[in-house]
């Protein structure tokens, strides 16, 4: 019989002395103390959470064949490792572009295959899981769904890795306990993603919480990546925050890029232009060198040589 905890508990200071971290730390599957070994998540041929730093890039939303082709070519040429693209979009307004749905999924999957890039797609509800997991290599749970527990339970039964974004009003504890749902249900292939939280600061779309990245890396065995696009909402802030994320110990980035950001149907202001994306990819290795890391490479010999 399942033994339930009386309270949810909290990681936060103060609460942690009475909370689930202190009292039950050994039994939570997400914690590092539970499994000493760091989890490495394989997505297609790419590894997230090992020595290499993985870059996921692509448009906020799939908009059409030409746009997806341009994005995939850019992502491939820039040396990023996975292609992202939303086809079911969680939009604040019901009148905003909601995504292309299944035809968009097919466009993204075809482009991914052409360029040898595994694809990352958001699943908004349990009814989309079978369709999306037929094509996508990494299933994304968006910030707005981080505590959709029935979705998490359903995804815990799927044989696909999950990218779990932190909710914009979620504490670190709530985020890690959301991951616990996935692990507890049997899916251990989970990547955490910090994407900015809502604070009192109105000048920037969200506040990038890099301390949460360091905390999650310290306390859990899961890979942690950073989405500086949604964290800032402003393409001019994405390069500095990406470099900072690399130095903070993150295992990768989730970036929005668009061939013509001013024409984007979704999140154009935060999409890197092709030139900015290339600049970032060129500058990332020296930021990673600060923490003795490098971009992920499929060839381990090349990684070993590059690290000398």
Interface with ligand PEP (CB under 6 A): 60, 86, 90, 122, 142-144, 165, 195, 227, 230
Residue 115 neighbours by CB under 8 Å, 6+ apart: 72, 73, 75, 76, 83
Q: Which does 288 bind (CB under 5 to 8 A by kind): Mn ion, ligand PEP, none?
A: none
Determine the Cα–Cα distance for residues 50 and 126; give it in Å rounded to an integer.
30
The CA distance from 176 to 178, in Å, is 5
CB of 167 to ligand PEP, least distance (A): 8
Q: What is the smallest separation between the CB atom of 60 and Mn ion, expressed in angstroms?
A: 3
Position with the least CB separation from ligand PEP: 142
Interaction partner, residue 90 (ligand PEP, Mn ion, none; CB < 5-8 Å by kind): ligand PEP
Q: Which does 217 bind (CB under 5 to 8 A by kind): ligand PEP, Mn ion, none?
A: none
Least distance in angstroms from the C-beta of 168 to Mn ion: 13
What minimum distance in Å lies between the beta carbon of 254 and Mn ion? 10
Q: Which residues pair with 53 in a beta bridge?
A: 295
Distance, CA of 116 to CA of 94 (rounded, Å): 35
Looking at 52-60, 152-160, 195-203, 300-308, which segment touches Mn ion (CB under 5 A)? 52-60
Closest CA to 163 of 224, 111, 220, 209: 224
Which residues does residue 121 pair with via DSSP β-bridges, in sequence order? 139
Query: Which H or E run includes 286?
Result: helix 274-290
60 exposure class (CB count in 10 Å sphere: 0-12, 13-18, 19+): buried
CB nearer to ligand PEP: pick between 21 and 74: 74
Contact set for Mn ion, span 259-298 (CB under 5 A): 267
Question: Which residues of this chain interact with Mn ion, rule CB under 5 A?
Answer: 60, 267
């Amino acid at each position: 019989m399942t033994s339930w905890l009386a309270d949810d508990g909290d990681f936060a200071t103060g609460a942690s002395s009475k909370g689930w971290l202190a009292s039950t730390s050994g039994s939570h599957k997400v914690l590092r103390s539970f499994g000493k070994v760091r989890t490495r998540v394989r997505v297609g041929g790419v590894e997230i959470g090992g020595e290499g730093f993985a870059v996921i890039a692509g448009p906020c939303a799939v908009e059409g064949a030409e746009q997806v082709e341009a994005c995939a070519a850019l992502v491939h040429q820039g040396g990023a490792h996975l292609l992202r693209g939303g086809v079911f979009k969680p939009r604040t307004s019901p009148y905003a572009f909601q995504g292309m749905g299944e035809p968009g999924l097919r466009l993204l999957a075809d482009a991914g295959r052409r360029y040898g890039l595994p694809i990352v797609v958001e699943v908004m509800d349990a009814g989309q899981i079978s369709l999306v997991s037929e094509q996508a290599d990494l299933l994304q749970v968006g910030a707005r769904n981080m505590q959709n527990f029935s979705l998490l339970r359903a995804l815990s039964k799927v044989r696909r890795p999950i990218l779990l974004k932190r909710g914009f009003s979620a504490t670190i504890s709530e985020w890690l306990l959301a991951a616990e749902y996935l692990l507890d249900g049997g899916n251990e292939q989970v990547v955490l993603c910090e994407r900015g939280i809502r604070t009192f600061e109105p000048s920037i779309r969200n506040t990038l919480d890099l301390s949460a990245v360091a905390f999650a890396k310290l306390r859990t065995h899961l890979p942690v990546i950073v989405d500086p696009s949604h964290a800032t909402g402003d393409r001019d802030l994405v390069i500095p925050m990406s470099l900072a994320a690399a130095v903070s110990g993150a295992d990768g980035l989730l970036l929005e890029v668009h061939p013509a950001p001013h024409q984007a149907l979704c999140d154009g202001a935060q999409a890197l232009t092709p030139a900015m994306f290339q600049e970032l990819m060129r500058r990332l290795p020296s930021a990673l060198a600060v923490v003795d890391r490098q971009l992920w490479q499929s060839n381990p010999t090349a990684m070993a040589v590059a690290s000398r």
